[in-house]
Amino acid sequence: MAATRDKALLTVSHLTKKFGGVMAVHDVSFAVYPGQIVAVIGPNGAGKTTLFNMITAVLPATSGTVQAMGTEITGKRPCDIAALGITRTFQNLQIFKNMTVIENVMTGAHVGMNTNFLWSALRLPSVKREEAATLEKAYRLLTQVGLAHLAYESAATLPYGSQRLLEIARAAAANPKLILLDEPMAGLNPQESRELVRIILQMREAGMTFLFVEHDMETVMSIADNIVVLDFGEKIAEGTPKDIYNDPRVIAAYLGDEEVVV
């Protein structure tokens, strides 16, 4: 058992993505182990989202490999990745605004089903029992993210910060082993960010593993076990928050970024 526990959930090896002449991700390797919270950081345009898109099969890699739970993902579709135990949220929020809050979470439990098919299938008696379990589970996840009291509201009426939490509840509904969060704190106020940190830590306590992109260094330093730093598509450093905080290459990459902004 000990050996199985130590197996990587995700192994990224020499992953590369070229968009025409742009080397968005170049020769990036790292692994994520069960129970870890791993952060991917780096200046804007460093390749973080592209990396997530390759891991979740939204984009094919130019070269290199991704293994999810030991299975090579090349040639798989995004819904296959969810079935393998990896789900994600998006940098630009993607929730179903024409559904209720709880329906949004329930769609996450049915990975690989399109929503029209899902809602017509729900009328069949054969799926009713399973649906009761899905409903219960969705409600439990909403309780976990503090949105249970809004379960039957239209998702469109939620404030932005709550929609971000809803997206995480939906990503968790598929019983994933690993959740990828692309800038989950973007647009949240400090109180909402603290709440999100609490939820992530609580979900990790319950056995979840996270890989997340985040700009807020304080958050990254406080919750990440391991940090992968990208700059211009290359992995320039990897290590604990303490290692990264003192790494001259990382400091240089961020100072460089600030100079561009100023």
Ligand X SMILES: Nc1ncnc2c1ncn2[C@@H]1O[C@H](COP(=O)(O)OP(=O)(O)O)[C@@H](O)[C@H]1O
Chain residues that interact with ligand X, rule: CB under 6 A = 19, 22, 24, 42, 44-50
**Among Mg ion, ligand X, none, partner that 22 touches (CB below 5 to 8 angstroms by kind):** ligand X
**Among ligand X, Mg ion, none, partner that 113 touches (CB below 5 to 8 angstroms by kind):** none
**Least spacing, CB of residue 91 vs ligand X, in Å:** 7
**Among ligand X, Mg ion, none, partner that 42 touches (CB below 5 to 8 angstroms by kind):** ligand X
- Toward ligand X, which CB reaches closer, 16 or 115? 16
CA-to-CA distance for 75 and 134, rounded, in angstroms?
A: 30
CA-to-CA distance for 204 and 185, rounded, in angstroms?
A: 17
Amino acid at 192: E
- Toward ligand X, which CB reaches closer, 22 or 156? 22
- Toward ligand X, which CB reaches closer, 167 or 214? 214
**Among ligand X, Mg ion, none, partner that 146 touches (CB below 5 to 8 angstroms by kind):** none
Residue 94: both structure tokens together:
């993607």
- Toward ligand X, which CB reaches closer, 165 or 253? 253
**Least spacing, CB of residue 259 vs ligand X, in Å:** 17
**Least spacing, CB of residue 254 vs ligand X, in Å:** 13
Of positions 17, 36, 43, 49, contacts Mg ion by CB under 5 A: 49
- Toward Mg ion, which CB reaches closer, 103 or 182? 182
- Toward ligand X, which CB reaches closer, 59 or 168? 59
CA-to-CA distance for 231 and 224, rounded, in angstroms?
A: 19
**Least spacing, CB of residue 48 vs Mg ion, in Å:** 5
**Among Mg ion, ligand X, none, partner that 47 touches (CB below 5 to 8 angstroms by kind):** ligand X
CB 102 within 8 A of CB 135: yes
Task: Write the interaction track for Mg ion spanning residues 68-97; mark x where CB under 5 A is met and - where it is not.
Answer: -----------------------x------
Q: Which residues bind Mg ion (CB under 5 A)?
A: 48-49, 91
